[in-house]
Amino acid sequence: MKKSQEELQKEYNAAVAKREQYQHRCQRLENRIRYYTQGERKKRNHRLITRGAAVESVAPEVRSMSERAFFLLMEKVFSLPEVAALVSRAMDQQEGG
Letter string b/e over residues 46-76, b meaning 16 or more CB atoms within 10 A of that residue's CB: eeeeeeeeeeeeeeeeeeeeeeeebeeeeee
pLDDT(95) > 70:
yes
Cα–Cα distance measured from residue 14 to residue 23, given in angstroms and rounded to the nearest whole number: 14
Q: What is the pLDDT of residues 25-58, one digit of tens each?
A: 999 999 999 988 888 888 999 999 999 999 999 9
